[in-house]
Chain A
Amino acid sequence: MRRQNLKGRKLSQLGCPQRKASNTSGSFRKVVSHFMLQGPVDRMTGSQFHGLEQAPGSNCNRPAIVVYDDKKRDVTPRPLYIQNPGDMSRCAGHHFDSTGTTPIDLCTLGSAQHTTDSFSSSILFSRSFRRSSSSSSHHSITSMITEAADAEILQGIEHEKQVQEHPFLPDPEKLVSVVLCESETFTLIDIPAVSVSEQAPEASAVCEQNQQYIDLCQKREGCNCYDDGTAQTFCHAQKNKDVQSEHVTTTEKGVECTAWDLHDSFQSSIEKEPKHVASHTALTSFVLPCYSTPGQDSRSGIMEEFSLENLWSSLRMVERMLATNELQLRLAIYRQLTYQPDDDSEVKQYGGYEVTPKDSRSSTQNTTNTSPALDQLWVYGCALTKGRNVSCLAVNQANKDILAVGYGQFDFQHKKNGLVCCWTVKNPTWPERVYRCEAGVTAIAFSITDPNLLAVGSHDGVISIYNVRNVADIPLLSTRELPGRHMSTIWDLCWVDTERGADLDRVDLNEDLVSVSGDGRVTKWMILKNLGFNGEFLMCFSTII
């Protein structure tokens, strides 16, 4: 868009009411008149429509129609709506007439208003303003602009044009600085008040005048000084003029401000370093097909891929909850709690325990037992463990709900894989942890000082230590490669307290692992700091059973 040199341009005006008879196409003109309103009233009554004439100096596509009355005064009706020059820069493809006679009139300070669509023309022969790319438009000076404000406006518009080089493709990255400055104060209307405050200095004078007038009115009746008389005033024809303005666009914006919202924004603003999200190696990304059930609509083509480390833990938690919902009565019996069923639940009796409704004093009573008997509460079993032989058990010392079970064969003809399952009371349908071993598991023991550690002894003499926090199948430590390992079945494992030695290589575990094996050796194992195993031979049995 060309830069416009605004000063000294030739302008042609469209029907600006002129009190002084002068030519229309003049130089830049300052008009101190009111905003595009009332045509000169006195002309409307007495003048005649003289005719159309081409406005001199304009050779644009559309003829500029100027109406003169018989006194050669310009009475062209002015349009209802005059565009701001600041909006011209925003018009799509709007360019100025190449002949150079297109005026740029300064209306208000270049306001960044969204221009409306075309509007209807005012009366008869004035052109309709259209914002098309090919037509040029004329503007007229509409607002009152004083001398001093001109320079400011020019500066403002120039600045705006500098800023908006490509108004339709603003660079989103570029920082645009907009200078807002205050213009001079325009006084539109100044109607002095007719009443005066009581505390004003002239209040007393005004009061006196008022009083004098009141006295005068009262005395007027019989006084000869004043006589009534009538006078006639002119009743000028009135003309209505409509004004159209740009639509003021308003938008509403509401924000719900909560305490945690403020907290979050504050936290994010004070965080400097980027967060490092540790991703679970087992589940980094997961692709879920959409709508696996049949008969769905066409959204099945969308595949969502997002990291689901939390989904798995949520699923397992939900699984436990679902199982405990089923087990509620039995869990209550197990934990020796009094069980209060809901009014709608139908569990009334389990085994020898009868659940009575709430209004009785004790809800579980032993009713039918005469001889000692056992009621089975639940069974730990799943598809994984079907057909396997349970060889050893261990209960976690820290969390008594967790039971580690080792599965392995006792008869040595069949070589089968071993399995270690950590079951929890809250879910008897599936174990929490499943560790597969190469050989059958024969001994298992939880550490006391560090309840995460689970020592597993297997049929081929290998001792492995698992960390039950990890889900992966890999043991933390293993004696498979060690030279001092057992050659035969590990029959028992035990964690034994030790004294704290001055040995700095050892992990400060306060416990050692003692194993008894079928090769007749009892070995004490110590865990070194570099995650190594060190075996110390304790004693030897001469006969092996």
Chain B
Amino acid sequence: MAEVEETLKRIQTQKGVVGVIVINSEGMPIRSTMDNNTTVQYASLMQQLAAKARSAVRDVDPQNDLTFLRIRSRKNEILVAPEKDYLLIVIQNTNE
């Protein structure tokens, strides 16, 4: 438990990290470093996107599965780690 907390803290202090969100399987954010509105928005959007991506990957080959999703945009990069019972979202600002 302590290792997870430690790692979370280290991630938050990495260069350019805007926020870290952990949401559970129902889409409710359980851990966030950003304000409520942004958190809820990111949570719902990323959950849908991860579900769609996973569906796409598995449609092509049902034995395959999505391990990571990375969205690079002009201003920042969103890293999404989908798992069975949670979803980890990290937003990093790539221009500094």
Contact status B1-A287, CB under 8 Å: yes
Measured between beta carbons, the chain B residues less than 8 angstroms from A308 are 4, 86
Interface residues of A in 279-297 (CB under 8 A from B): 282-283, 285-293, 295-297
Of chain A, the residue at the smallest CB distance from B64 is A260
Select which of A259, A316, A317, A319 is within 8 A of B62 by beta carbon. Answer: A259
Chain A nearest CB from B76 CB (Å) reads 10
Counting chain B CB atoms within 10 Å of each CB, the highest count among A306, A308, A322 belongs to A322
Return chain B residues, CB-CB under 8 Å to A287: 1
Q: Which residues of B contact A290 (CB under 8 A)?
A: 29-31
Partner of B92, one of A297, A315, A325: A325
Collect the chain A residues with CB atoms within 8 Å of residue B55's CB: 258, 260
Chain A's nearest CB lies how many Å from the CB of B82?
A: 9
Asked whether A283 and B4 contact (CB < 8 A) given A311-B22, A319-B14, the answer is yes
Distance between Cα atoms of A321 and B31 in the complex (Å) = 20
What are the residues of chain B within 8 A of A291 when measuring CB–CB? 29-32, 36
- Candidates B3, B62, B68; contact of A282 at CB < 8 Å: B3
User: Interface code A304-325, partner B: CB below 8 Å = 1, 0 otherwise?
Assistant: 1011101110111111011101
A180 to chain B, nearest CB (A): 37
Complex Cα distance A292/B4, Å?
A: 15
- The answer to whether A286 and B11 touch across the interface, beta carbons within 8 angstroms, is no
Q: A260-B62, A283-B1, A325-B16 are in contact. Are A312 and B86 (CB under 8 A)?
A: no
* Chain A residue with Cβ nearest B77: A325
Given A311-B22, A325-B94: A297 and B4 interface contact (C-beta under 8 Å): no
Shortest beta-carbon distance, A505 to chain B, in Å?
A: 37
Residues from chain B with Cβ under 8 Å of A286 in the complex: 1, 4
Expressed in whole angstroms, the Cα–Cα distance for A293 and B31 within the complex equals 9
Q: Which residues of A contact B35 (CB under 8 A)?
A: 293, 295
Q: Contacts A259-B59, A322-B90: A306 and B11 contacting too (C-beta < 8 A)?
A: no
Cβ contact within 8 Å between A318 and B88: yes
- Is B62 a contact of A322 with CB atoms below 8 Å? no
Interface string of B50-80 (1 = CB under 8 A from A): 0000010011001100001010101101010
B46 to chain A, nearest CB (A): 13
Cβ–Cβ contact A283 & B85, under 8 A: no
- A322 lies within 8 A of B14 (CB): yes
Residues of A within 8 A of B86 (CB): 306, 308, 311
> How far is it, in angstroms, between the C-alpha of A291 and the C-alpha of B1 when the chains are bound?
17
Chain B residues with Cβ below 8 Å from A258 are: 55, 58-59
B49 at the A/B interface (Cβ < 8 Å)?
A: no
Bound Cα distance A283, B5 (Å): 12
Q: For residue B33, which residue of chain A has the nearest CB?
A: A293
- A344 vs B79: C-alpha distance when bound (angstroms): 19
From B11, which residue of chain A is reached at the shortest CB distance? A319
Q: Are A304 and B7 neighbours in the complex by a CB distance under 8 Å?
A: no
- Do B4 and A321 touch across chains, with their CB atoms under 8 A apart? no
Q: Is the CB of A264 within 8 A of B62?
A: yes
A residues within 8 A CB of B4?
283, 286, 308, 311-312, 315
Are B16's CB and A288's CB within 8 A?
no
A263 contacts chain B at the CB level, 8 A cutoff: yes
Report A383 CB to chain B, min CB distance, Å.
Answer: 10
- Of all chain A residues, the one with the shortest Cβ separation from B68 is A317
A286-B29 Cα distance, complex, nearest whole Å: 15
* In contact, B31 and A326 (Cβ under 8 angstroms): no
Q: Is residue B8 within 8 Å, beta carbon to beta carbon, of the partner chain?
A: yes
Q: Counting chain A CB atoms within 10 Å of each CB, which of B72, B74, B94 scores highest?
A: B94
A40-B11 Cα distance, complex, nearest whole Å: 87
Within 8 Å of chain B (Cβ to Cβ): is A18? no
Interchain CB contact under 8 A, A259 and B58: yes
Q: Taking the complex as formed, is A232 at the interface, i.e. its CB lies under 8 A from any CB of chain B?
A: no
Min CB gap A175→B, angstroms: 32
Contact A293 B58 (CB under 8 A): no
A278 to chain B, nearest CB (A): 15
Which 10 A/B pairs are nearest by Cβ-Cβ distance?
A: A263-B62, A260-B58, A314-B81, A260-B62, A315-B7, A322-B14, A344-B74, A310-B83, A259-B59, A304-B30
Q: What would 15 more interface pairs be, CB under 8 Å, given A304-B24, A304-B30, A319-B7? A: A259-B62, A283-B3, A288-B22, A290-B31, A291-B29, A293-B33, A299-B28, A315-B4, A315-B11, A317-B68, A318-B11, A318-B79, A318-B81, A321-B79, A344-B95
17 intermolecular pairs with C-beta atoms under 8 Å apart: A259-B59, A259-B62, A260-B55, A260-B58, A263-B62, A288-B30, A290-B29, A291-B29, A291-B30, A304-B24, A308-B86, A315-B8, A318-B81, A322-B15, A322-B79, A323-B14, A346-B96
